[in-house]
């Protein structure tokens, strides 16, 4: 049993990058000002944790991808879960990654105004039906043409 737990500890070493995406529902719809405040605090904390990622907000639902070293991602996710302004519906994606999807962003952001509403709808549709089929490529594409 000793060797087994040691193996797990090695596997969870802090130099492992992981990516995690989740879907959640806002308890109350977020106005623009509230979204901007959320993003500002998000970017600040993520900057300190070296967590990067992207956030979608559409029709009262959030979809967020966070990535970084596993302990930082877990701490960040724990903070997200404890935020009473939304409730997590499901974790859509969680995996080790060899490189970050969003290396330059403390938090990219899209709303249905800022992106193609149809593609956002499609992503939410797929994600809400089955977490196993989270359309990670479609999600990335939404952020792909961004200069910041």
pLDDT exceeds 60 at position 11: no
* pLDDT at residue 132 in the model: 66
Structure confidence at residue 131 as a pLDDT band (50, 70, 90) = low
3-state helix, strand, coil in the chain (%, to 5): 45, 30, 30
Torsion sign across C-alpha atoms 81, 86, 92, 93:
negative
pLDDT (tens digit, 9 = 90+) per residue, 44-58? 999 999 999 999 998
Pick from 7-21, 66-80, 105-119: least confident: 7-21
pLDDT exceeds 70 at position 145: no
Mean pLDDT over each residue of the chain, to the nearest integer? 82
Q: How big is the CA angle at 67 (ends 146 and 9), to the nearest 5 degrees?
A: 165
Contact between 92 and 20 (Cβ < 8 Å): no
75 Cβ partners below 8 Å, 6+ apart? 49
pLDDT exceeds 50 at position 61: yes
């Amino acid at each position: 049993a000793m060797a087994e737990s040691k193996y797990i500890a090695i596997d969870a070493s802090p130099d492992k990058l992981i990516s995690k995406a989740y879907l959640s529902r806002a308890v109350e719809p977020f106005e623009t000002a509230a979204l901007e405040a959320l993003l500002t605090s998000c970017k600040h904390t993520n900057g300190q944790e070296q967590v990067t990622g992207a956030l979608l907000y559409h029709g009262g639902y959030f979809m967020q991808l966070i990535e970084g070293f596993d302990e930082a991602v877990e701490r960040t996710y724990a903070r997200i879960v404890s935020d009473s302004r939304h409730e997590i519906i499901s974790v859509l994606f969680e995996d080790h990654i060899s490189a970050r999807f969003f290396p330059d962003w403390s938090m990219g952001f899209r709303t249905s105004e800022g992106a193609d509403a149809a593609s956002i709808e499609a992503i939410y549709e797929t994600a809400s039906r089955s977490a196993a089929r989270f359309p990670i490529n479609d999600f990335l594409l939404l952020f792909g043409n961004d200069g910041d």
